[in-house]
Amino acid sequence: MAKEFEITEEMRAQIGRESPPWIHEITTTSVRAFARGVGYTDPVYFDVDVARKAGYRSLPAPPTYLGTPVFIPGRSSDTFSGPTEGQPAIRHGLSGLLDGGTETEYFEQICAGDTLVVVSRVAGLDVRESKSLGKMLITTNETTYTNQQTGKLVARQRGQAIFY
């Protein structure tokens, strides 16, 4: 728990920095794995025939699922599965991490068979104080998801992470 924490110029310089693009895949197996992880029983997320009858091209990505980052040992995070190369990094020295919030806007249907090009950038930094966690750094990231086949922006996500 930090008593004092300040955003440095070095941290502020990361705002607006974009990550290199990375691929997220949506496959029938990955949709089933996610739907199973959430606890869905709706067959539309498991059975391709049922999904087609419901009007989808294949199994649709359940809400909040935006594909699985392609995992390559040494180039991906062992913990969060996302890429580690060239990512904007805030060197804050805080060890605790909690998720703060998530907002996703959807523009197009996302289905198994799609590959998404994902680019993330630091949108903002903020310091807040809580009674239980002390001084906290709140980072806001904005990530865009573009269908590689069609070139269309399919989703945009803003997320807050809390470091303490």
Partner 1 sequence: MAVTWESIKEGDQLPGLDKNPGVTQLVKYAAGSGDFNPLHHDYNFPQSKQIGSIIVHGRFKYASLGELVSNWLGHNGRIQKLSCQYRGMDQPNQPINCRGVVKRKWEEGGKKLAQLEIWTENAKGDKTTPGEAIVAF
Binding site for partner 1 (CB under 8 A): 30, 33-40, 42, 44, 54-56, 62-65, 68-69, 71, 78-82, 95-106, 109
The angle at the Cα of 52, spanning 51 to 53, to the nearest 5 degrees, equals 90
Closer to partner 1 at the Cβ: 83 or 146? 83
CB of 35: closest distance to partner 1 in angstroms?
7
Spell out the alpha helix ranges (H) of 65-148: none
> Which is nearer to partner 1, 6 or 85 (by Cβ)?
85
> By the 8 A CB rule, do 159 and 97 touch?
no
Residue 9 or 41: the one with the smaller Cβ distance to partner 1 is: 41
Q: Which is nearer to partner 1, 21 or 62 (CB)?
A: 62
Region label for 146, one of left (φ > 0), alpha (ψ between -120 and 50) or beta (otherwise): beta
Least distance between partner 1 and beta carbon 132 (Å): 10
If one counts every other C-beta atom within 10 angstroms of the C-beta of residue 149, the result is 10
Nearest distance, CB of residue 2 and partner 1, angstroms: 14
User: How many helices (H) and strands (E) in the chain?
Assistant: 3, 6
Smallest distance from partner 1 to CB 145, Å: 14
